[in-house]
Amino acid sequence: MIQPYVHGERRSTLYAYTYVIVINYLIALWCLCRFLIEPYVMPKLLGKKYTEADEGQKRTMTNHVVNILWKCSTLFGLYPFIMTVVLGKPSNTYLTYGNVTYGDMLALAYMLFSAGFIFELIYRSRISFVTALHHLVALFISTIVSWMIVARVRGGMEGQAELHIIFTYGVFEIFFETGPHVMMILYKRYRNRQAMLKKGFLFVALWSFTGTFLEQFAIGYLYIHNWAAWDMSLKVLTPILHCCFAAAQVHGGRVFLALSRKMAREYAESLKNKDDLYVLEPQVSFQTVATDVVEKKSSGVRVSVVEEIQEIQK
């Protein structure tokens, strides 16, 4: 069960260097994107669908790959999350080797999320209002929490209590919001495989709805247990921000559900077109054969209709 914040627990000292760490993450993401993903990975992955696309479409497709990479990279914080937030161990517990604590690893994963959202807002030339709102709200609350911890507002109690909620959001983001990026890459690569795409989009939509549903229980539990650590401003602001996150997730699920239905319609139309082709094909073949037979007879060549049909079938 997810554990609430323990009063007096010391968090990582890395939050004082949030600006430096986030800037270095952004530099790494830019270099990775510019020197590896754009020139090598995307052309091999999508071929002409990428190279012949306009700049906006290229950035959108590249952003999906970047999102998959940085979200998978944050999995290094999963073990510290389980040990601290789920099992309740102090975040200042050191790992088996070295001077790194659970809190340090969680702080690095937390800042990677912020850098990933900033990079997407800057890099993409076409971004939906809902996605932009989700990222801006996440960055806003992350900035407030970092300030609370560094400035030790009310002894750092409020910011430290809020961190458990942010870490929980991050885990749900990794496991339930990475699939949509994978499906969009598959959609671009295998656009004509409607049967596969309709199942994939349906799975992603249901997976997203499931994550949103489960998230309500986890976040609600933390709200109740951390309620005493917040002043009135956070008691009002935090549920509002949570509604923004939940609305964005539900909207994303609806989008993929609509894409699944679209692929189902296209698949049904393709089957219907095949059936029509099978009905018309014998008539076309007979006309072709009849014309060919007349032409060959006029030239003195003797040939049967059966032979012509066999030749066409070959």
Contact call for residues 222 and 4 (beta carbons, < 8 A): yes
Task: Please state whether the predicted TM-score (pTM) of the whole model is above 0.95.
Answer: no
> How crowded is the C-beta side of 121, counted as CA atoms within 13 Å?
18
Question: In percent, how much of the chain has pLDDT > 90?
Answer: 57
Average pLDDT over residues 282-299: 47
Distances (CA, A) of 134 to 121, 127, 233, 246: 11, 11, 20, 9
- Nearest CA among 131, 111, 109, 104 for reference residue 120: 131
Indicate whether 296 pLDDT > 70. no
pLDDT tens for 61-115 read 999 999 999 999 999 999 999 999 889 888 888 887 778 999 999 999 999 999 9
Contacts of 81 (CB under 8 A, 6+ apart): 106, 167, 170, 171
Q: Can you give the pLDDT at residue 152?
A: 78
pLDDT tens for 144-196 read 888 888 887 766 677 778 888 999 999 999 999 999 999 999 999 999 999 99
Indicate whether 257 pLDDT > 90. yes
Token reading at 96: 């088996």
Highest mean pLDDT (candidates 83-87, 117-121, 128-132)? 117-121
Q: Can you give the pLDDT at residue 237?
A: 84
Contact call for residues 134 and 248 (beta carbons, < 8 A): yes
Per the listing, tokens 């007979």 go with 286
Q: Can you give the pLDDT at residue 58?
A: 95
